[in-house]
Structure 1
Amino acid sequence: MTLPTPPSKIKVYLLTGFLGAGKTTVLNGLLQAKKDEENIIIENEFGKVSIDSHLVETRYCSLFEMNNGCICCTLDNELVEVLASILNAEVQPDNLFIEASGVADPGGIIALFSQEEVANFFQLHQVVCVVDATVVEDWMEEIPEVSRQLAAADLIVLNKKSLVSPSYLPQLTQLVQGVNSLAEIMVTDHGIIPHDILTKQKKPWDPAKTIPEVEAKSPHPLKSMLFEVEELIDREMLLNQLTLSFFLSYHQLYRMKGLVWLSDSTLPHIVQTHGRQVHIAPLEGEVKLPYPKSQLIFIGKGLERKSLERKIQRTLASQKSNSKL
């Protein structure tokens, strides 16, 4: 069966966050911002009975419930079927909102929307992670999924700020920034976020502005690390090394993103991971970094700089060795 090609790609907004963080409240705010458009929602709960679907306000045209499993693993085939049914509907939506289970690792979902057959119809526009300011620091220590949710986010909503000490908020914000220096962080109460957060034009990513300043002094096992390479990088060597690293160290490496200058192109490229998959694509927007200065940011648990440096040096050494053949 051939699927119809929509006039424009359906924008996808993925909401993650551990149990009780306030995802559904944030979702209602996002639906309010898009109330004049056609919206579809996918609700995923880790249980046989859906509760959150009754809490979602009716600013949507369809709601799909995926229960008794996690959308990122046991329900991945069902998610594909839901996406296909959306494309076969008479009226195509403008937006698709996915509220993932509180125990979901978003990497698999992000990877699905990066596949060509899905990316032809859907554009993953933003990954929003909602966290409970009162417990997130403890959860980061105890629950791996919380760390992966933070690492995958474009926007981190630090919710329930009124329930913690005002003096603790800057410390907590810095801690979260140290985990994911790539994300925008918004501190709020009751899940209230600006309605224009979905319509604001994203600025081109500039690695120079995402240097994790707290890396050296953060005692937390979760951290981000920046590396710079002042020579051209071989595309295949980089792809192979990163793919191998994330396959072997998936329990430790949560995310990677970088701006790189490749030996086979005069244009800078963005390299980033989605789950265990690595993607390289040309950078859109203005580039302020000097040629050919590449920057790579790794996010993970208990990362060791020397170990990551060896991986990068191995990539550079391999390409030099091949160039001599």
Structure 2
Amino acid sequence: MAGFLGAGKSTLLNHILTSDHGLRTAVVVNDFGSINIDADLIADVGESIVGLANGCICCAIRSDLIGAVLGLVDLPERPDHILIEASGVADPKSVYQAFLQPEIRNDVLVDGVMTVVDAEQARCLPEEEQKLAVEQIESGDLTILNKVDLVDNETLREMKSWLSSINPRAQVIEACQCRLPVDVLLGLDARKPLVTHSAVNAQADHAQEPSTCIGRDVADHHHHENTFESWNYKSDRPLRLGLLNQVLSHLPKEVLRAKGFIYASDDPTCRHLLQMVGRRAVISSERHWCECLPETRLVFIARRGVCNILAINRAFDKCAEDAPIA
């Protein structure tokens, strides 16, 4: 998680920590003081780690980022997600590259980089500070344009155009106080059955309407119900990874996230995990199917009313091993 000083990173972390999302989420921060944790939420306190009643945990960075993350990975109850709040004057590329090192790359899969931008102040920074802010924007997979309630429509249009010129591959999501659905911020838990939104059956005609992506954490921000939508893709036919990667690379930029399991014809005995945020898609070999029925189960989050879901699902169907290659 990147963003210049005052953009709203701590506000975003507070929102995630206090949301009722059911995920065990670890947050690595430079200083606990930047996180406003309600005392009623604290379940237990350990050395450099705060456990919260909603299943989240916080860990303070001391000197070694990799060591802190590996410590979280070794906890008896491993986190589902680890969020890292980079310093407001840090270049997130160096943080991302740290997770490509041999000692950690097999234990932690990088989901993506979220960059928080202050809609009111980002273009008013002094030259040196703005240079750093631009580097942070360039590194992001999702750009959260925060504090949009403080600017007029013309300024908002100019900001979005400016952000797109810096990083055209990143989707820009508008927010007030960084309040966005946690599904959009963290993706979806691929371990659970994909029935939280409308099911799209790959063996039928994929004609069901997608449902709205909105949770209890944004119930008081009803404008999101017309902003995001989610749909599922499911197939019991093994898919060719090469073709699947091609489809993923050509998805509309309005697809914000995708996650799930893949039944791959390249390695049918092993379950593969897809994690996609913005334009960054990573497919990793996870473990054997064992007694589980091999099948592809993917879930997508996108801007509402933009994607041709039927065409996208048909494109995935064409990745099947027994599907003819055009």
TM-score by length of structure 2 reads 0.51
Q: Is the 8 A contact 2:26 2:82 kept in 1?
A: yes
Aligned AA (2:249)? W
Deviations 1:5-62 (A, max 9, x none): xxxxxxxxxx1111111112212333455731222111125xxxx4213358744443
Name 2:170's counterpart in structure 1: 183
How far has the Cα of 1:195 moved from its partner?
2.7
Within the candidate set 76, 83, 88, 1:102 is matched to 88
How far has the Cα of 1:84 moved from its partner?
2.4
TM-score by length of structure 1 reads 0.51
Structure 1 pair 28/258, CA: closer, same or farther in 2 (3 Å)? Answer: closer
Aligned AA (1:19)? L
Is 1:37 equivalent to 2:12 in the alignment?
Answer: no
Aligned AA (1:192)? R
Alignment of 1:132-143 (within 5 A): 132-139=118-125, 141-143=127-129
Name 1:193's counterpart in structure 2: 180
Instruction: Give the share of equivalent positions with the same residue, in percent.
Output: 27
How far has the Cα of 1:131 moved from its partner?
0.9
Q: Is the 8 A contact 1:158 1:185 kept in 2?
A: yes
Within the candidate set 140, 157, 160, 2:147 is matched to 160
Unaligned runs of 5+ in 1: 1-14, 68-74, 211-256, 260-284, 287-325
Q: Is the 8 A contact 1:162 1:189 kept in 2?
A: yes
Unaligned runs of 5+ in 2: 42-51, 189-229, 233-246, 255-278, 282-314, 317-326
Is 1:205 equivalent to 2:249 in the alignment?
Answer: yes
Deviations 1:262-288 (A, max 9, x none): xxxxxxxxxxxxxxxxxxxxxxx97xx
Structure 1 pair 123/140, CA: closer, same or farther in 2 (3 Å)? Answer: farther
Name 1:228's counterpart in structure 2: none
Within the candidate set 134, 137, 150, 1:147 is matched to 134
Alignment of 1:1-325 (within 5 A): 15-32=1-18, 35-45=21-31, 50-55=32-37, 58=52, 59-66=54-61, 75=63, 78-139=64-125, 141-143=127-129, 144-197=131-184, 198-199=187-188, 204-206=248-250
Counterpart CA distance in 2 for 1:63 and 1:116 is: 25
How far has the Cα of 1:207 moved from its partner?
9.3
Q: Is the 8 A contact 1:43 1:98 kept in 2?
A: yes
Q: Is the 8 A contact 2:147 2:176 kept in 1?
A: yes
Counterpart CA distance in 2 for 1:110 and 1:139 is: 25
Q: Is the 8 A contact 2:141 2:280 kept in 1?
A: no
Aligned AA (1:153)? G
Counterpart CA distance in 1 for 2:81 and 2:152 is: 37
How far has the Cα of 1:126 moved from its partner?
2.2
Counterpart CA distance in 1 for 2:97 and 2:55 is: 25
RMSD in angstroms over aligned alpha carbons?
A: 3.2
Aligned AA (1:64)? C
Counterpart CA distance in 2 for 1:85 and 1:38 is: 15
Moved over 6 A (4+): 200-203, 207-210
Q: Is the 8 A contact 1:24 1:55 kept in 2?
A: no
How far has the Cα of 1:170 moved from its partner?
0.9
Structure 1 pair 187/61, CA: closer, same or farther in 2 (3 Å)? Answer: closer
**Other structure's SS at 1:129 match:** strand
Counterpart CA distance in 2 for 1:102 and 1:129 is: 10
Deviations 1:161-199 (A, max 9, x none): 111111211111011010001101011111111232022
Counterpart CA distance in 1 for 2:253 and 2:74 is: 42
